[in-house]
Amino acid sequence: MSKTIRIGTRDSELALWQAKTVQKQLEHLGYKTELVPVKSTGDIVLDKPLYEMGITGIFTRTLDIAMLNHDIDIAVHSLKDVPTLLPKGIVQVAVLKRGNVNDTLVFKHNEEFLGAKEAVVATGSLRRRAQWLNRFPTHTIVDLRGNVNSRLQKLKDNEWNGAIFAAAGIGRIGIRPEESINLDWMIPAPAQGAIMITALDEDEFVKNACAELNHEETEICTTIERQFLNKLEGGCTAPIGALAYIKDEEVHFKGVLLSEDGSKRIDVTRVEKLGKHENMAQFCADFVIERGGKRLMDNIKNATKQTNVVSTKSLTEDQRLLFNEKVVAESTDFIKISLNRIHPRFLKNEIQNVIITSKNAVEALTTNFSATELQFKNIYCVGRRTKRLIEKKIGKVTHVEKNAENLAKYLIEFIEGTEVTYFCSDLRLDTLPSILEENHIKVNEIEAYQTKYDGQKVDDSVEGVMFYSPSTVESFVEKNNKEVIAFCIGDTTAKEAKKHFNDVRVSKVPTVESVIELVNLHFV
């Protein structure tokens, strides 16, 4: 037990309470531990795009990244906040015995408003909102976000009748007000009240240590609830509740799907013998879907909201889920790529030095030629993702830089010979060839692909645009004469954006997910 287990946690009061609970239990078993509060992805160096790792959780991805970078050994989460699909290489290693599963109403003065036609209740949860309006359709729901302490303070500072919290959250840190009642009728979020530990799948020592903390009954019940959520959700955030419990060797389950306004509701209940419950979640999800759940989910997905952010690149469903609730994003490709036919004469003789600045150039080369035909002595490239693709499809990269200007400066100092072949687009920045030619390095440009502008006019409601290359900026301004916040993936893109926009922001990490994080920070 000589290894010290580094416990990663967010730095909120509740998160630290949960992490310290895990720390005490591990140390009671004789393990050495260390708490590691982790703040932000911006300071973490990544060598892999987040979307390749499958990182999606708003509340968990910072710890996921820290773990994949080996900065922590385990992460402690509220299980209800954890996406149902974990990133590659990360596994659930334990679920602690569950706490209070209920939602709790904290009221301002008394409970009499529950019988009133008009009342104001605060919550940031779609599930709580929908169930409350289903029961009290004439009440008004206001949005409430922040940590537990700040939400309680907002309740004091506003003329609301009450606000809804997870009973486990306010109970664990000892701040549950006397003016509160559990809402036994409200079906909780899947896995509410449970604390979960994740670790790297490859770390057998940590997995075995944490397995001693696992509470089997809680694991069985939360797994069923999360499977139900996964089978219903389909990439869409929706008002879904689920609760399973074990009594007299039987698993009891109840689940619910509602419309966002609570006017439509589909319930399901099921009881199975313990050990015969494997298909319980699938049965219950199918039951809901067959009774109008699919139509309800489609309506939620297609709800009409004003777009306030546009992405100039199509986003995956997992990437869309990273936006916070205040962001209504649309995405489409403002750039279309057409690969050119590259004549074999260009590869007739071995090329000593090759420059590749995009994945599109890699695709063009590998579409035209086999890997054995692409015999380059030195390959210089821009971007880690481009480097990975080159080494997967062509061969070893001699040197990589984060942008074209830095690569040009490197080549001036270290290039072998005085000539390079640059596989580029018909639209490209002049920075790299200009710098090289000014320093007496000959640049042979081969047009590997064509970049075509395919921008569209955006709505007046759009406040921000996400840009991933200088070409996406140019494509946007070709169709739009509009001042927006430019959220940019890197410095080269930002340099072009500054020619057109006053407010330009650059992500700290060159990934789509990091740009999304920039957007979320603005729309807090």
Q: How many whole angstroms separate alpha carbon 502 and alpha carbon 518?
A: 16
Asked if residue 396 and residue 271 are part of one domain, the reply reads no
Domain end among 255, 284, 303: 303
Q: What is the pLDDT of residue 426?
A: 87
Consecutive 10-residue averages of pLDDT for the chain (524 residues):
87 90 96 86 37 48 88 94 88 96 92 91 91 96 85 91 92 88 95 96 96 97 95 75 96 95 95 95 94 82 77 86 85 91 83 92 93 90 91 95 90 93 84 91 93 91 94 94 94 93 92 92 89
Asked if residue 200 and residue 89 are part of one domain, the reply reads yes
Q: What is the CA radius of gyration of the chain?
A: 27
Judge contact between 410 and 382, C-beta under 8 A: no
User: Contacts for 63-70 with beta carbons within 8 Å, 24 or more apart?
Assistant: 63/8, 63/9, 63/10, 63/38, 63/198, 64/90, 64/198, 65/41, 66/8, 66/36, 66/38, 67/8, 67/198, 67/199, 67/200, 68/200, 69/44, 69/45, 70/200
Asked if residue 467 and residue 325 are part of one domain, the reply reads yes
Task: Check 71, 81, 261, 286 and give the catalytic one.
Answer: 81
- Quick check: is 81 catalytic? yes
Burial of 440 (0-12, 13-18, 19+ CB in 10 A): exposed
pTM of the complete model: 0.57
Burial of 357 (0-12, 13-18, 19+ CB in 10 A): buried
Instruction: Please provide the distance, in angstroms rounded to a whole number, between the alpha carbons at the two ends of the chain.
Output: 43
Asked if residue 248 and residue 323 are part of one domain, the reply reads no
Q: How many whole angstroms separate alpha carbon 227 and alpha carbon 221?
A: 10
Domain end among 453, 477, 496: 453
Q: What is the separation of C-alpha 240 from the centre of its chain, rounded to a whole number of angstroms?
A: 20
Q: How many whole angstroms separate alpha carbon 9 and alpha carbon 401?
A: 33
Asked if residue 194 and residue 85 are part of one domain, the reply reads yes
Q: What is the pLDDT of residue 59?
A: 61
Q: Packing angle between helix 431-438 and helix 404-414, nearest 10 degrees?
A: 20
Asked if residue 221 and residue 288 are part of one domain, the reply reads yes
Asked if residue 239 and residue 136 are part of one domain, the reply reads no
Domain end among 303, 323, 351: 303
Number of domains in the chain: 5
Asked if residue 446 and residue 345 are part of one domain, the reply reads yes
Q: How many whole angstroms separate alpha carbon 512 and alpha carbon 524?
A: 19
Asked if residue 439 and residue 299 are part of one domain, the reply reads no
Q: What is the pLDDT of residue 236?
A: 56
Helix/strand/coil for 157:
helix
Asked if residue 122 and residue 1 are part of one domain, the reply reads no
Asked if residue 351 and residue 446 are part of one domain, the reply reads yes
Asked if residue 276 and residue 208 are part of one domain, the reply reads no
Q: What is the pLDDT of residue 508?
A: 85
The CATH number linked to 377 is: 3.40.50.10090
Q: What is the pLDDT of residue 303?
A: 65
Domain holding 270, by residue range, is: 216-303
The CATH number linked to 481 is: 3.40.50
Q: What is the pLDDT of residue 12?
A: 83
Q: What is the pLDDT of residue 51?
A: 32
The CATH number linked to 145 is: 3.40.190.10
Q: What is the pLDDT of residue 43?
A: 32
Judge contact between 356 and 392, C-beta under 8 A: no
Q: What is the separation of C-alpha 520 from the centre of its chain, rounded to a whole number of angstroms?
A: 11
Judge contact between 70 and 206, C-beta under 8 A: no
Residue 90: which of 109, 70, 107, 110 has the closest Cα? 70
Q: What is the pLDDT of residue 298?
A: 72
